[in-house]
Structure formats: structure tokens, C-alpha cells
């Protein structure tokens, strides 16, 4: 039930609630259509097709739309070389209000393996679940948000805030060429913002930072029968990994003061070997070995300090082993992000979640990053909330629960109705 003290729904709560339940086939059909447009990234496929489809859906709801294509020089700057044009769709519901509530959704999805039980790009409804790549991350939210707008329009709810929606590419590769571009260029408006995040009674209000690096260990190749003539880069890598293991133990003791859904996620982390490469042949002493590091920073840390810790280990290692050389290249660095607190906005969102879930709403920091950080870095209050399934983001047989899809529509409807 959509009951909120002082709500601007003004007696329409039951009608909207019943409408969202009775007309859930709209959300199911919309999500199914979205799943069946395979916007796989990398390389970034069918972006123009899904933007065209979403534009039609927005216009059906009476929203004005505008498309922005990310320029080639921006794509080149961030290493995007292949795939579709990066089309960003912005849709507005102008209420002639002073402030604007922006809701972002990314439409790209990660690739699917051949291990799926169903075709990942054919929506399959089984009981309360809709299976398909992107169902939970995050095409389900697109359906929920548009369904909420549809309900508010249907019952003529008078909003006190402008609504702006954006549908953007490339979140799965960092978002710099999607929402990041729109925010940087001032092409979107936001006094408050939301996108994907936690689910149920949990609301995300920030995320950890990320530092990705590629470590190159250079030794000297030689014939396998004469190993003394070479320097085994694989063995040197093992010694270096042991040094990084000490750093891993050290940083794991650092815990954020912010709330997180799982206590174990409060720690800073370091993962090695997600990428591993080296060697030419069984009878050759490997001359070069490479591996990756994935460093996640809690909000109390910063990128410069995290880089220095890694560089100091490498500097000492190179000083110890003069016959080899270790290099590091940082391929991605994104600082932690925490939303600026806005009492009214946070209360409206938490009230909506509590009304729909019947549970106390908790604000927490996410272990992974979302595009909301682009608003957070600008000082704009920004929160995350998502329709959920089995929390199988990026996994085989990804699904979203229909009940969660509808409940998320209720949450967004309440937020839009009571902001301003």
C-alpha cells in the first residue's frame, strides 16, 4: 500500500497501488523487449536500436526527448574503439518547478557465456522470475521507472519537481563515455539523482573506489635446459606476489565507518591475478610475466596514497633484485564516492522504501561502483535503489523478480510524488 503521511498522492494511493499490480504485464512486456535488444558491452552493440525504442516509449508517456552522441575524441580518450555510436537519451517531464529529480539508467549489459540454461537474449518468464541478460543489471530498473511515470500520469498526480530521465551506455566499462560525459558537459539537470544500487530495504549512498593496475615482471629468457643463463620472471613474480600479500593483509584491517550491507565488505581489498600472462613454451625460461591487481578503496582512503603503497613495494623489490625489472601501469583509477546529505531527499527516499517494504530503511555504501558517482563528485545528493532477483549481476541465468519490479515502481512513484 502506498500510504505516506503528507503524501501528494492525495487519496490516490490505493488506485496507483492497484494499477501497478493489475497492469504489471506492461512492465513485464517492456522489460522483455529490452532484454531482447542485446546491448552487449564490450564492444557496445545495438545502442542506436535501444535508444530509438526507449525514445518511442518515453514519447508515449508524454515526455520530451533529446539524444546526445558522445564525440569520437571523448571515446578515443577513454579507449573506446569499437561498437555502436554512444547514444545518450535524455527525457524530460517539465513541471515548471524550481528543482529537478534525475533518474539515470544504463542500458548496456555484460556478455553472456554459453552456460545459460535459457537463451540470455530471449526473456523467459517462470513464476515470479524474468530471466535474461540485463534483467537485474539494470534493464529491470528502466521498466520500473517508466512504469512509475506511467502510473503517475494515469492518475494525474501533480508533481512539485521536474522529472528528468537519462538512458546511457558504457556503465559496464566505467561510464566515462555515457553518463560521465553528460554530467561533465552539463547536458543533464539534477538537484537530486538516483540510479541503480541496493534493493529491498537497503539504499546505497556511495561506493568504494577502484584502482586497477597491470604489473609487468621482466626477467631474461633462456633455454629450459640452461636456466642459470636466464632470470625466471615467473618465479620473480611469485616473490613479488608475496610482498603484495603483506600489503593485502595490512589493508584488510582498514574498515570504513560507513554502513555496508555485509560486515566483511567494510574492509579495503586487494585481488591479484584476475589477468595473468607469461611464457612462450614449456622449454623456455619465461622472460616476461604480467598480472593484474584490483584494489578497492574504502571512502576514508584516496587514490594517490593507494598508488604510492603499490609503487613503494615495487621500488624496494627492484632495489633488491638488480637482474630483473618490475613496472606498473595503472589502467583505471576512480576515487571513492559518498553522496552529499540532503535531509529532505534522504527522508523522502527512506520513507518510500519503508512504506513499500514494511522494513526500516538502511543507507549503505556499495562495494562496487555505479554511475551515481558522477553526480556525487559534483556535490549533488545521489542515491541508488534497484529491482532485484538473486543478486546474480553479471552471472549466468540472471533474473529479476516480478514482485521486486513492481515494488521498485512503487518506490519511485512515491519518491517522485513527494519530492519538491
Asked whether residue 183 falls in the same domain as residue 280, the answer is: no
**CATH number of the domain where residue 50 is located:** 3.40.630.10
The answer on pLDDT for 12 being more than 90 is no
- Which one has a higher pLDDT value, 9 or 292? 292
Q: What is the pLDDT of residues 68-119, one digit of tens each?
A: 999 999 999 999 999 999 999 999 999 999 999 999 999 999 999 999 999 9
Q: What is the pLDDT of residues 376-413, one digit of tens each?
A: 999 999 999 999 987 778 899 999 999 999 999 999 99
Q: Is residue 249, in this structure, part of any structural domain at all?
A: yes
Asked whether residue 330 falls in the same domain as residue 346, the answer is: no
Asked whether residue 250 falls in the same domain as residue 348, the answer is: no
Contact 20, 152 (CB under 8 A): no
DSSP 3-state of 416: helix
Q: Is residue 124, in this structure, part of any structural domain at all?
A: yes
* Residue written as grid cell 630483473: 324
Q: What is the pLDDT of residues 112-147, one digit of tens each?
A: 999 999 999 999 999 999 999 999 999 999 999 999
* Residue written as grid cell 562496487: 368
**CATH number of the domain where residue 301 is located:** 3.30.70.360
Contact 360, 269 (CB under 8 A): no
Asked whether residue 250 falls in the same domain as residue 344, the answer is: no
Asked whether residue 192 falls in the same domain as residue 324, the answer is: no
Average pLDDT, the chain: 95
Q: What is the pLDDT of residues 146-193, one digit of tens each?
A: 999 999 999 999 999 999 999 999 999 999 999 999 999 999 999 999
Q: Is residue 7, in this structure, part of any structural domain at all?
A: no
Q: What pLDDT does residue 9 have?
A: 65
Instruction: State the pTM of this model.
Output: 0.91
Q: What pLDDT does residue 129 have?
A: 97
CA dist 195 and 47 (Å) reads 19
CA dist 83 and 96 (Å) reads 38
Domain that residue 148 falls in: 13-207+337-418
SS3 content of the chain, % helix, strand, coil (to 5): 35, 25, 40
As a whole number, mean pLDDT of residues 314-319 equals 98
Q: What pLDDT does residue 19 have?
A: 87
Domain count, the chain: 2
Partner residues linked to 162 by β-bridges? 100
Q: Is residue 6, in this structure, part of any structural domain at all?
A: no
CA-based torsion, 352, 354, 360, 362: positive or negative: negative
| Domain finish residue from 279, 313, 334 | 334
Contact 16, 156 (CB under 8 A): no
pLDDT-derived band at 10, boundaries 50, 70, 90: low
Q: Before 138, cis peptide (omega within 30)?
A: yes
Q: How many residues can be counted in the chain?
A: 420
Q: Is residue 8, in this structure, part of any structural domain at all?
A: no
Asked whether residue 36 falls in the same domain as residue 174, the answer is: yes
Largest CA distance in the chain: 85
- CA angle (279 as vertex; 246, 307 as ends), nearest 5: 35
As a whole number, mean pLDDT of residues 330-337 equals 94
Amino acid at each position: 500500500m502506498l500510504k505516506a503521511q503528507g503524501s501528494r498522492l492525495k487519496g490516490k494511493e490505493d488506485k496507483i497501488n492497484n494499477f501497478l499490480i493489475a497492469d504489471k504485464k506492461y512492465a513485464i512486456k517492456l522489460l522483455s523487449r529490452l532484454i531482447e535488444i542485446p546491448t552487449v558491452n564490450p564492444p557496445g552493440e545495438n545502442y542506436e536500436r535501444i535508444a530509438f525504442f526507449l525514445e518511442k516509449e518515453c514519447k508515449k508517456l508524454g515526455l520530451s526527448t533529446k539524444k546526445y552522441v558522445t564525440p569520437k575524441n571523448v571515446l578515443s580518450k577513454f579507449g573506446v574503439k569499437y561498437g555502436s555510436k554512444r547514444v545518450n537519451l535524455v527525457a524530460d517531464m517539465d513541471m515548471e518547478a524550481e528543482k529537478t529529480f534525475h533518474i539515470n539508467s544504463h542500458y548496456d549489459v555484460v556478455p553472456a557465456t554459453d552456460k545459460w540454461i535459457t537463451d540470455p537474449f530471449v526473456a523467459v518468464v517462470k513464476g515470479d522470475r524474468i530471466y535474461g541478460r540485463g534483467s537485474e543489471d539494470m534493464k529491470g530498473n528502466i521498466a520500473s521507472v517508466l512504469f512509475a511515470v506511467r502510473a503517475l500520469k494515469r492518475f494525474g498526480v501533480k508533481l512539485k519537481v521536474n522529472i528528468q530521465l537519462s538512458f546511457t551506455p558504457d556503465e559496464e566499462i566505467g561510464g566515462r563515455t555515457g553518463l560521465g560525459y553528460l554530467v561533465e558537459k552539463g547536458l543533464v539537470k539534477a538537484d537530486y539523482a538516483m540510479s541503480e544500487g541496493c534493493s529491498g530495504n537497503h539504499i546505497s549512498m556511495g561506493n568504494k573506489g577502484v584502482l586497477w593496475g597491470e604489473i609487468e615482471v621482466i626477467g631474461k629468457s633462456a633455454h629450459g635446459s640452461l636456466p642459470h643463463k636466464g632470470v625466471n620472471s615467473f618465479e620473480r613474480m611469485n616473490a613479488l606476489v608475496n610482498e603484495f600479500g603483506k600489503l593485502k593483509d595490512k589493508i584488510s584491517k582498514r574498515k570504513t565507518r560507513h554502513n555496508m550491507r555485509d560486515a566483511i565488505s567494510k574492509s579495503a581489498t586487494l585481488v591479484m591475478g584476475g589477468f595473468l600472462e607469461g611464457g612462450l613454451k614449456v622449454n623456455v625460461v619465461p622472460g616476461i610475466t604480467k598480472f593484474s591487481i584490483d584494489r578497492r578503496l574504502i571512502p576514508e582512503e584516496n587514490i594517490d596514497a593507494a598508488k604510492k603503497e603499490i609503487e613503494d613495494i615495487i621500488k624496494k623489490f627492484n632495489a633488491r633484485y638488480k637482474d630483473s625489472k618490475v613496472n606498473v601501469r595503472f589502467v583505471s583509477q576512480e576515487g571513492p564516492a559518498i553522496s552529499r546529505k540532503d535531509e529532505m531527499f534522504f527522508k523522502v527516499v527512506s520513507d518510500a522504501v519503508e512504506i513499500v517494504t514494511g522494513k526500516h530503511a538502511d543507507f549503505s555504501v556499495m562495494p562496487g561502483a555505479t554511475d551515481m558517482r558522477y553526480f556525487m563528485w559534483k556535490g549533488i545528493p545521489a542515491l541508488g535503489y534497484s529491482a532485484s532477483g538473486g543478486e546474480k549481476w553479471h552471472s549466468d541465468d540472471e533474473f529479476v523478480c516480478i514482485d521486486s519490479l513492481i515494488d521498485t515502481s512503487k518506490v519511485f512513484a512515491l519518491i517522485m510524488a513527494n519530492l519538491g
